[in-house]
């Protein structure tokens, strides 16, 4: 389940970055770009919080400790009402927003790699244990 949630987060971050790139090259107007980004921000925050909670409940401590500061930061942005992109300020904040979304994309990708590694490690341990019990 965590891999699917991470892929959804990765796709939401990609959508936001594409919207900002389209705005930068003037393929889309600021209102459409900000409305597309704002429509997926809350979904991204909810998915990220659910993923963080699932790591906590399943006792996956390392991914939880990696995701907890990001969940706190998203909660702080939401409480301060700074989570939405403003239509009138989007051109002034364009470079910062693109860097922010790129860092998020890299974070979600690294989390995906960590999750895949842990699942492969689990499968290898299971296979190794089965071969050890079969040889006895």
Give residue 123's pLDDT. 94
In the chain, % of residues over pLDDT 70: 99
Give residue 136's pLDDT. 67
For residue 127, give the DSSP letter: H
Angstrom distances, CA of residue 20 to CA of 60, 88, 98: 34, 14, 7
- pLDDT tens digits, one per residue of 70-105: 999 999 999 999 999 999 998 899 999 999 999 999
Sign of the four-CA dihedral 17, 18, 20, 25:
positive
Q: What is the pTM of this model?
A: 0.86
* Torsion angle of C-alpha atoms 101, 7, 25, 77, degrees rounded to 10: -30
């Amino acid at each position: 389940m965590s891999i699917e949630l991470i892929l959804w987060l990765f796709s939401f971050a990609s959508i936001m970055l594409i919207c900002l790139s389209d705005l930068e090259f003037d393929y889309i107007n600021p209102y459409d770009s900000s409305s597309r980004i704002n429509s997926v921000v809350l979904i991204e925050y909810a998915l990220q919080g659910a993923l963080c909670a699932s790591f906590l409940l399943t006792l996956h401590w390392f991914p939880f400790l990696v995701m907890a500061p990001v969940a706190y930061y998203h909660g702080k942005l939401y409480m301060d009402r700074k989570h939405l992109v403003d239509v009138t300020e989007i051109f002034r904040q364009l470079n910062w927003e693109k860097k922010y979304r790129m860092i998020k994309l890299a974070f979600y990708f690294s989390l995906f790699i960590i999750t895949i590694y842990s699942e492969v490690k689990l499968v290898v341990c299971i296979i190794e244990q089965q071969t050890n019990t079969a040889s006895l």
